[in-house]
Amino acid sequence: MIKNVLCAEQLKLKRSFLPYVLVLVPLLVIGYELLNLTYRSEYVEKQAVLFKAKSMWEYLLFDNSILFGLGFPLAITIAASIIVNIEHQSNAWKQTLTFPISRARIYIGKFIWLIIGLFFSLTVFLIGLILLGEILGFEGEIPIKLLLGDSYFILVTSLPLISFQLWLSITFKNQAFSILIGTVCSMVGLFLAAGTSTRWIPLAYPVQTSTVILQYRGLGYNPDLSIYLTVNLILGLILLIIGLVHFSKRDVK
């Protein structure tokens, strides 16, 4: 039954702007890094030496973590809005819910498509990072494990935001509200990540998901990454269940 729901959602999304949004965000980050590493090469090399980066690959992972940590939550916000707004715009919620399909399956179907879309966006980001390093002639082997971690771990640390934005977009017909809240959450997360104590608030985790961070002795592996992943995986599932229960019980106009 869930397969039928996913197929129906795919047909709805076929003519939407979702693919463009999911591709645009990672390309903007990659484009920024290309300009930064090309036109500010001397400054970047000095920074890499100052931060004791073992390679330019390592510096690249550190440098794009903040920008992508801000851009990816915005992609989540817009993607969730697009997936849900199809029903809102056509006032089709009542019609959708008359089908012999449980509300839980409909909700989970939209969640799965949101995850699929975001996974696709992160894959574009991963390919972009590899091509960027190859184009600029980075020395040494491609640190594929670190690149995979930087590309896909943020999907786990963003699960609470994904679950929250999906619920928000479904609950409120005016998508400007959900997009505003998502944008504010993204900005707040960036500021929370800069604080010593506030960085432990889950909203700040996506900005800190990079496998490489700046420590007292220079760039090194992120020792708190496993904590970020565990906490947000659990919190994301809890918020998903809460949103699902609320959607199953609420009156839809």
Packing angle, helices 159-171 and 144-157, rounded to 10: 40
Rounded distance, CA 74 to CA 178, Å?
Answer: 11
Q: What is the pTM of this model?
A: 0.90
Mean pLDDT of the chain: 84
Pick from 5, 15, 2: nearest CA to 89 = 15
Residues 115-150: tens digit of each pLDDT: 999 999 999 999 999 999 888 888 878 889 989 998
Q: Long-range pairs for 221-225 at CB < 8 Å and ≥24 separation?
A: 225/149, 225/153
Rounded distance, CA 59 to CA 51, Å?
Answer: 8
Neighbours of 112 (CB within 10 A): 14
CB 154 within 8 A of CB 68: yes
Residue that wins the pLDDT comparison between 130 and 174: 130
What residue segments make up the domains of the chain, in order of their start? 2-247
Neighbours of 101 (CB within 10 A): 16
Rounded distance, CA 4 to CA 247, Å?
Answer: 20
Residues 87-105: tens digit of each pLDDT: 777 666 666 666 667 778 8
Identify the pLDDT of residue 40: 83
pLDDT above 70: residue 3: no
